[in-house]
């Protein structure tokens, strides 16, 4: 077992006996006594705040023992008894942080002479059942072909045992066809569940969330096609267990960690934070939602090509990136407006020139993006904010505004820097031809095509470019539009996610 040294909170002389009512900075003592781990003598104390374990030698606590623990209840999973021949033992199961910020399941097996092991286990289980936010009934949806076809196997081997150990009941459904998660989200009755767990990539999470949101809006009589409608928020928190080719959401909501066991233990820990989503509309028509980012241009081209090369597996992304470096990037004309955080956007309708028709809708707070008639290469609105820290870059998915990234001709080196930034690397100085508009909560894209062009009078390459102008990038997937105009709006603090605040952003107020 691997443990880190911890500062003790219960004195050795408090140790013997059953329960106590004394209180100190560690909370009220529930149960304390002497226990053994092999030949080691330990002092174990359960308080209202958590579990402390200290090795004791000659009546004195050993400060740097690997057996010392100081665990809040949210990091204790459960306890169980074991043993044979009348020599009973009990084991404490808990989660422990690693140096790479991953969480790992650990256990400590103990024997007790003063207090029955069953009493220890019962006391620990009682406190674990009272952990705030810890779910008891989970709906799990799995993309069985995710993770190179190992999504289902990974869940049953690495995740399901954690949920069972914590006493979480699970209902498990595997998708059977394209858009099946969307269908499940729209039709499934989620009453009684206190967590929806998506085992796959960003696309599976986006589908199940979108389906559930559509179900909620229809039940509440919300007009999905009206972008200014106030959407009903889901009350059930979500979690993404990484088992797909695209796992940006799970990384950013788990301190830049992409790891199935860590995500499962985050659910058991019960810590949730509100995240934002983006609603996407063509004029008068709801297209869908995004949990990560929506955009046009370069990322759409990249993902469309990768989607056509799925037979290559994960290697298609490396090939797609190389291809993007060597080929000339598609450029296009576009009118773009953006809405900044905190600015009102009421609809103001004006009459037409003759005073008898309505010709224009103006929303105050919107800004026209101007690049002096240059063509665009791409533009993306994200649900997260990129924060520049002294030694690294941090992606904050729990901010109340997003970033709008505009590309007007970034070089290949700039693309590499941009990618490294999202891996947490420190980037010094601006990236040429990349503009970040901070605090963006809305964007309108309107691609402008040359009216003299048709698919019949242009080259095959240009016809392909014109076709691509009808596509959007949404959370690692490509979505086709009917027209050339789309509006995306950020809805802040909309859905709760199991996860944690990035370590670089934690303060005494939000630290867990």
Inter-residue contact 270 to 134 (CB < 8 Å)? yes
Nearest to 402 by CA among 299, 283, 252: 252
Residue 278 counted as domain residue:
no
- If asked whether residues 122 and 147 sit together in one domain, one would say no
pLDDT of residue 245: 65
In a domain, 228, yes or no: yes
Q: In angstroms, rounded to a whole number, what is the distance separating the alpha carbons of residues 266 and 251?
A: 12
Same domain, 304 and 449: yes
Same domain, yes or no: 159 and 111: no
Question: Can you give the pLDDT at residue 349?
Answer: 35
The answer to whether position 70 is within a domain reads yes
**Residue 369 pLDDT:** 93
Contact call for residues 28 and 47 (beta carbons, < 8 A): yes
The Cα-based distances of 136 to 59, 63, 130, 260 in angstroms read: 41, 37, 11, 19
- Strands 137-142 and 196-200 come out as parallel
Last residue of a domain, one of 216, 238, 270: 270
Q: Residue 354 pLDDT > 50, yes or no?
A: no
pLDDT for residue 506: 64
Is residue 261 within 8 Å of 159, Cβ to Cβ?
A: yes
Predicted local confidence at residue 503, as pLDDT: 75
What single-letter DSSP state applies at residue 328? P
Check pLDDT > 50 for residue 24: no
CB proximity list for 274: less than 8 A, separation 6 or greater: 398, 492, 493, 494, 495, 496, 497
Give the percent of the chain with pLDDT over 90.
Answer: 53
Is there a domain that residue 279 lies in? no
Chain segment 437-465, per-residue pLDDT in tens: 988 999 999 999 988 988 888 898 888 89
d(CA 184, CA 176): 11
Segments forming the whole domain that contains residue 234: 137-270
CATH number for the domain spanning 85: value is 2.30.29
Mean pLDDT for the stretch of residues 477-483: 91
pLDDT averaged over every residue in the chain: 84
CA proximity to 204, closest of 236, 234, 182? 182
Query: pLDDT digit string (tens) for 61-109?
Result: 888 788 899 999 999 999 999 876 435 799 999 999 998 899 999 999 9
DSSP secondary structure string for all residues of 209-248: HHHHHHHHHHHHT--TT-TTSPPPPP-S-EEEEE-SS--H
Q: Flag whether pLDDT at 322 surpasses 70.
A: yes
pTM: 0.84
Query: 341 and 199, same structural domain?
Result: no
Task: Give the confidence band of 355 by pLDDT, cuts at 50, 70, 90.
Answer: very low
**For position 181, which CATH number holds?**
3.40.50.10330
Q: Which of the residue ranges 20-24, 51-55, 475-479 has the most confident prediction, judged by mean pLDDT?
A: 51-55
Tell me: do 206 and 236 sit in the same domain.
Answer: yes
pLDDT digits (tens, 9 = 90+) for 371-415: 877 899 999 999 988 887 777 788 888 877 789 999 999 988 888
Residues 452 and 303 reside in one and the same domain: yes
Number of domain units in the chain = 3
107-155: per-residue pLDDT in tens? 999 998 888 999 999 999 999 999 999 999 999 999 988 666 788 999 9
Whether residue 194 sits in one domain with residue 116: no
């Amino acid at each position: 077992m691997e443990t880190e040294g911890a500062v003790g909170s219960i004195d050795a002389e408090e140790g013997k006996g059953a329960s106590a009512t004394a209180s100190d900075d560690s909370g009220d003592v529930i149960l304390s006594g002497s226990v053994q781990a092999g030949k080691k003598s330990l002092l174990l104390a359960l308080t209202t705040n958590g579990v402390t374990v200290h090795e004791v030698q000659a009546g004195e606590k050993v400060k740097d023992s690997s057996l010392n623990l100081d665990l809040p209840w949210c990091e204790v999973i459960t306890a169980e008894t074991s043993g044979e021949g009348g020599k009973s033992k009990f084991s404490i199961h808990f989660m422990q942080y690693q140096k790479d910020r991953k969480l790992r399941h650990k256990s400590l097996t103990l024997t007790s002479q003063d207090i029955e092991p069953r009493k220890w286990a019962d006391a620990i289980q009682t406190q674990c059942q009272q952990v705030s936010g810890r779910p008891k009934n989970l709906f799990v949806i799995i993309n069985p072909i995710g993770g190179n076809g190992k999504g289902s196997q990974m869940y049953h081997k690495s995740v399901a045992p954690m949920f069972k150990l914590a006493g979480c009941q699970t209902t498990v459904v595997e998708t059977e066809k394209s858009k099946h998660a969307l269908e499940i989200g729209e039709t499934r009755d989620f009453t009684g569940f206190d967590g929806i767990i998506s085992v796959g990539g960003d696309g599976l999470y986006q589908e199940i969330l979108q389906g559930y949101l559509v179900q909620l809006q229809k039940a509440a009589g919300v007009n999905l096609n009206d972008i200014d409608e106030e959407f009903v928020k889901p009350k059930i928190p979500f979690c993404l267990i990484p088992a797909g080719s695209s796992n940006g959401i799970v990384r950013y909501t788990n301190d830049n960690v992409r790891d199935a066991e860590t995500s499962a233990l985050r659910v058991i820990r019960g810590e949730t934070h509100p995240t934002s989503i983006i609603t996407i509309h063509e004029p008068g028509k709801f297209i869908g939602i995004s949990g990560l980012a929506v955009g046009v241009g370069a990322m759409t081209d990249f993902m469309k090509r990768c989607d056509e090369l799925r037979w290559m597996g994960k290697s298609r992304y490396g090939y797609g990136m190389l291809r993007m470096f060597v080929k000339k990037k598609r450029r296009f004309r576009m009118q773009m407006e953006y809405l900044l955080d905190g600015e009102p956007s009421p609809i103001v309708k004006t009459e037409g020139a003759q005073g008898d028709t309505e010709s224009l809708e103006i929303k105050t707070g919107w800004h026209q993006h101007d690049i002096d008639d240059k063509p665009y290469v791409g533009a993306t609105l994200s649900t997260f904010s990129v924060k520049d820290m002294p030694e690294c870059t941090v992606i904050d998915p729990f901010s109340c505004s997003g970033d709008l990234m505009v590309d007007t001709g970034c070089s290949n080196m700039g693309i590499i820097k941009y990618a490294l930034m999202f891996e947490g690397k420190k980037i010094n100085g601006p990236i040429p031809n990349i503009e970040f508009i901070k605090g963006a909560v809305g964007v309108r894209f309107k691609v402008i095509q040359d009216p003299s062009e048709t698919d019949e009078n242009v080259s095959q390459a240009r016809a392909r470019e014109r076709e691509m102008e009808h596509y959007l990038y949404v959370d690692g997937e490509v979505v086709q539009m009917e027209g050339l105009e789309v509006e995306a709006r950020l809805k802040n603090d909309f859905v709760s996610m199991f996860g944690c605040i990035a370590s670089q952003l934690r303060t005494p107020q939000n630290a867990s």
